[in-house]
Amino acid sequence: MTDLSTITASPGAPGQGLYWRQTVTAALHRLWQSAVVLWAAFTVSFVILYALPSDPVSIMLNQSGEPSAADQAQILALRAEYHLDEPLAVQYGIALYKALQLDFGHSIQSGEPVAAALLQALPATAQLSLLALGLALLGGIGLALAASLVRWRWLRDALLGLPALSVSLPTFWVGLLLLQGFSFKLHWFPAMGNQGFAALVLPASTLAIPTAAVIAQVLLRSLVNVSRQPFAESLLAKGLSRRRLLFVHLLHNAAVPVLSLSGVLVGNLLAGSVVTETVFSREGVGRLAQAAVSNQDIPMVQGVVLLAAVIFILVNLLVDLLYPLLDPRIRAGAP
């Protein structure tokens, strides 16, 4: 049985032209889907935020907790400035028109342009998420490979049980445990802040643990399925070692489902950054989102939602480009 990695298509193969036509059609379809996703994210966030009973302007002016602290004239002026005194349909039209021009307005709480605030906070969250993703990939792939290679049944069963245990752990609880152990007791890493690489280690590990568990679960299941394919059994029958079979022939085929999961993983990292940046007092998009939701800062929340949607779309586009590298049948136009 020929390994899937040896399947290639000649430049003049009949299926190649069909492949490129399908690629262009799929690209146009994906662009349309991306536009719909962005519009849906904007609309849903708008409706939910405006359905809340509280008033964001009153929240801002009543930070002291005393109703008398807010002057009625100030409230009316700010509501007019942010078009909050207009009918809901008019507010939606104004907000959507500005968003199409990449103008997301100003934060109701700070008065800072939303785009500038997001661009300032994004690098810190990107560093945290990328390091967490790298640790998750190392941990998840390493755990799956170890469980596949170990000979002792008790140890294999223990390794197979780790992903389910890790997924069930709340992110904030993991963060607090890491803080207690490695910051307050051992004093190896700082407990909070954005200064230096050391301040990234505990937050990134907090995000990486549940993400690594998901990767390990999916990869383990995929490795089991691929190892049962006829080509794998044939190679074993010819005397190929299990280790070489795993690393050379099985791993890249089994990685396709993990790649398909990239959008979910990115979503988990973005959602987890809200909790993680709050626990470790880090400045970033997650902390910005938490403050915006607490204060019902509508422009800022919509900016965060649209940023997350754009990242999700870009990740899925990248995944589509990487598929042919892992599965040559796609590149060859095979059904």
Q: Is residue 317 within 8 Å of residue 32, measured between CB atoms? A: no
Counting Cα atoms < 13 Å in the Cβ hemisphere of 98 gives 18
pTM passes above 0.75: no
Tokens of 275: 């909790």
| Of the candidates 214, 189, 216, 200, the residue with the CA atom closest to the CA atom of residue 132 | 200
Secondary structure in 3-state letters for 286-324: HHHHHHHHHCCCHHHHHHHHHHHHHHHHHHHHHHHHHHH
Residue 191's pLDDT is what?
A: 78
Residue 55's pLDDT is what?
A: 66
Residue 7's pLDDT is what?
A: 40
- Tell me how far apart the alpha carbons of residues 198 and 283 are, in angstroms, rounded to a whole number: 15
Write the pLDDT tens digit of every residue in 7-59. Answer: 444 444 445 556 567 667 777 777 888 888 888 888 888 888 777 766 666 66
Q: Is residue 34 within 8 Å of residue 313, measured between CB atoms? A: yes
- Tell me how far apart the alpha carbons of residues 234 and 232 are, in angstroms, rounded to a whole number: 5
Write the pLDDT tens digit of every residue in 297-310. Answer: 878 888 888 888 88
- Tell me how far apart the alpha carbons of residues 276 and 294 are, in angstroms, rounded to a whole number: 16
Q: What is the mean pLDDT of residues 126-154?
A: 82
| Res 205 pLDDT > 70 | yes
Q: Is residue 255 within 8 Å of residue 319, measured between CB atoms? A: no
Q: How many other C-beta atoms lie within 10 A of the C-beta of residue 117?
A: 21
Q: How many other C-beta atoms lie within 10 A of the C-beta of residue 153?
A: 8
Where helices occur in 52-152 by DSSP H, the ranges are 56-61, 72-81, 88-100, 114-149
- Tell me how far apart the alpha carbons of residues 132 and 205 are, in angstroms, rounded to a whole number: 6
| Local structure of 225: helix, strand or coil | helix
Long-range pairs for 82-86 at CB < 8 Å and ≥24 separation?
Answer: 82/56, 82/57, 82/108, 82/298, 82/299, 84/55, 84/56, 84/57
Q: What is the mean pLDDT of residues 231-240?
A: 72
Q: What is the mean pLDDT of residues 109-136?
A: 85
| Res 328 pLDDT > 70 | no
Q: What is the mean pLDDT of residues 157-161?
A: 69
The rounded mean pLDDT for the chain is 75
Tokens of 147: 């469980």
pLDDT band for position 2 (50/70/90)? very low
Residue 19's pLDDT is what?
A: 57
| Res 170 pLDDT > 80 | no
Q: What is the mean pLDDT of residues 133-156?
A: 79
CATH code assigned to 118-327: 1.10.3720.10
Higher-confidence residue: 206 or 272? Answer: 206
Report in angstroms the alpha-carbon separations of 94 from 58, 117, 223.
22, 21, 51
| Of the candidates 123, 133, 280, 286, the residue with the CA atom closest to the CA atom of residue 198 | 280
Residue 6's pLDDT is what?
A: 40
Q: Is 159 exposed, middle or buried (0-12, 13-18, 19+ CB in 10 A)?
A: buried
Write the pLDDT tens digit of every residue in 49-100. Answer: 777 766 666 666 665 454 445 567 767 777 777 677 777 788 888 888 888 8
* Helix, strand, coil % over all residues of the chain, rounded to 5: 75, 0, 25
